[in-house]
Chain A
Amino acid sequence: MTGIGTIVKKELADHFSSYRFIILFALIAMVSLITTYMVGIGLREELGSVAKPKFVFLMLFTSTGPLFSLVQFVGFFGPLIGLILGFDAVNRERSSGTLSKLASQPIYRDSIINGKFLSGVVTIAIMLISILLVVSGLGLTLIGVVPGVEEVWRIFIYLIISIFYISFWLGISILFSILFRGIATSALATLAMWIFFSFFISMVASVIANSLIPLDRTTREDPEMVMRHVRVQRIISLISPMQLYNDSTAIIIDPTRKTTRSFVLMGPLEEHLSERFRRPLALSQSIYIVLPHIISLIAITFICFGVSYAVFMRQEIRST
């Protein structure tokens, strides 16, 4: 892996000194702090006179403030971090003639792509860790509750899932920066991808579910048909990394949630059990529920990087 360390160091220096990173970090930190502050104040007022629930610290992340919760915010806007870090990673080097210079140095060609991806992941990790630490610190001050060991573990797992989720988008943007020579084209392609998976996937899922299992006046009355319709819709929605992320983090960060499925799919027995066992789930059980989601998220991140790697290694490197 000759040269990868040098490339990672240079890329990290580039990321941390770039205006785009500073602006994005400031924006995300600001929104996170405002959201946490609003949620923290709300929690303090609501729980002031009653005994605090067991996982009150995690409520900082899951409770919706005036607009959204911190978890929802990262799920929705987190991809922008990955996209902005990678959309011009390779094509900018190509257009400025530095790619052939790098490749002509005594380093393996894959050090370039590995270095770029690794530095992006490190940047994402540093960004998320610092935001979570600041948010936790503010939360501690506002609600005056020290998180328990399990809560810390849940936040840690949430952090790991978030790093993989944003790294998936970093991989997508690096892939587009390899495929498209124009920086504007790769930026547009990555944005289009993000918009599709964030806004339109639910519409697409609904259209496909309607065409496969149409719900008309008669079938709407049949619970079996309704459940099949919703199941198809959910399966299609799970193509979206955002859906995978939202499902897995919702269960990990909120111990009282026992299923990723929506209420309509809950059978009578499940509903009955859910009513009987009001206690929150143990961490291992929460992980067990969303393990397929987490594995899928990690797998698509690696697949995406693998495709970028293969395309980059096969591409011709020329200065002109």
Chain B
Amino acid sequence: MNQKAIIETHNLTKTYDNQIAVDDLTFSIEEGEIFGFLGPNGSGKTTTLLMLLGLTEPTKGWARVSGFDPTKEAIKVKKIVGYIPESIGFYDDMDAIENLLFIARLNNIPDSVSTPKIEEALESVGIKDEAEKKVGAYSRGMRQRLGMAEIHLKEPRIAFLDEPTLGLDPEGTIRIIDYIQSLSRDKNITILLSSHDLKQVQKISDRIGIMINGRMIAVGPIEELAKEKLGVDDKEISLDDVYMKFFQEGSL
């Protein structure tokens, strides 16, 4: 096992009936890294995240998250991982504070600790003024920010963010991306960021992984992948070009 790796998978495979969702996935992510997890819809990204969280069992292979096996030690994994799913869910009839308080209690954070922390979290994501509004009245952007507040509250070692900027306006996207970057920079949280927003992924990711049809076809820093695939050594290279090149080859 890689000493520095906080997330590691080996031949990780998941099949549903006879359909392969994740195929022989082997990769690792180092502590404190922002890892851009790319791929078209249905490429197996979410299934991989679910396996890493212990929410679904791999058909073959293994995964380790901070040394824990998600299949056998799911609780230990979930204690150190914050997860924001693609379709972010909150209880609409509860306000932001009540939602976060509920999450804090599920994480065994005492109310005396969580109450000031919730205030701080809401302030840091810029929705403190809307804290007593029912979440049902929140816009998508506000819900995403509330999701980030949840990460702030839980202070995990690792955050799995599945399409955190989906459906957001440019300003909302920039705000979320900046916040993700600050989580890594200020709190040393390892980020596994699954997104279709290549520009934003390029802006903050240390490395990327491209998944197509359940297989990880490329892993590495964007510059290295650009050099390998496009033969260019240019810092200004666009991730869109790199991604499209891999996508075309991977889809064949």
Contacts and interface: CB of A to CB of B under 8 A. Distances in A.
Interface of A: 2-3, 6-7, 10, 14, 93, 96-108, 316-320
A317 B81 CA distance: 17
Given A99-B89, A101-B88, 15 more contacts: A3-B106, A6-B106, A14-B93, A97-B89, A98-B91, A104-B55, A104-B81, A104-B85, A105-B103, A106-B107, A317-B56, A319-B46, A319-B87, A319-B88, A319-B89
A320 B88 CA distance: 9
Size band of the B side of the interface? Answer: 20 to 34
A318 B47 CA distance: 9
A165 to B, nearest CB: 30
B75 A97 contact: no
A320 B78 contact: no
A106 B85 contact: no
Which of A7, A105, A108, A318 has the most CB atoms of chain B within a 10 A radius of its CB?
A105
A10 B102 contact: yes
B85 A97 contact: yes
A316 B87 contact: no
B37 interface: no
B13 to A, nearest CB: 16
Contacts of B79: 106
Given A2-B75, A107-B106, A97 B92 contact: no
A117 B79 CA distance: 25
Which of A93, A106, A316 has the most CB atoms of chain B within a 10 A radius of its CB?
A106
A100 B75 contact: no
Nearest to A18: B93
Nearest to B82: A104
Which of A7, A93, A97 has the most CB atoms of chain B within a 10 A radius of its CB?
A97
A108 B88 contact: no
B53 interface: yes
Contacts, number: 71
Interface of B: 46, 50, 53, 55-56, 75-76, 78-79, 81, 83, 85-93, 102-103, 105-108, 162
B90 to A, nearest CB: 7
A318 to B, nearest CB: 7
30 contacts: A2-B75, A2-B108, A3-B106, A7-B106, A14-B93, A93-B89, A97-B87, A97-B88, A97-B89, A98-B90, A99-B89, A100-B83, A100-B89, A101-B88, A101-B89, A101-B103, A104-B78, A105-B103, A105-B107, A106-B75, A106-B78, A106-B79, A107-B78, A107-B106, A316-B56, A317-B50, A317-B56, A318-B50, A319-B162, A320-B86
Given A316-B56, A317-B55, A98 B103 contact: no
A108 B53 CA distance: 12
A108 B92 CA distance: 24
Contacts of B92: 96
A90 to B, nearest CB: 13
Contact of A100 (B85, B91, B102, B106): B85
A102 B106 CA distance: 8
Contacts of A108: 75
A170 B18 CA distance: 36
Contacts of A106: 75-76, 78-79, 106-108
A96 B78 CA distance: 21
Contact of B89 (A6, A7, A14, A98): A98
Contacts of A101: 83, 85, 88-90, 103
A114 to B, nearest CB: 14
Given A105-B78, A106-B107, A319 B102 contact: no
A13 B43 CA distance: 40
Which of B55, B93, B162 has the most CB atoms of chain A within a 10 A radius of its CB?
B55
A96 B106 contact: no
B46 A320 contact: yes
Nearest to B78: A106
A106 B89 CA distance: 17
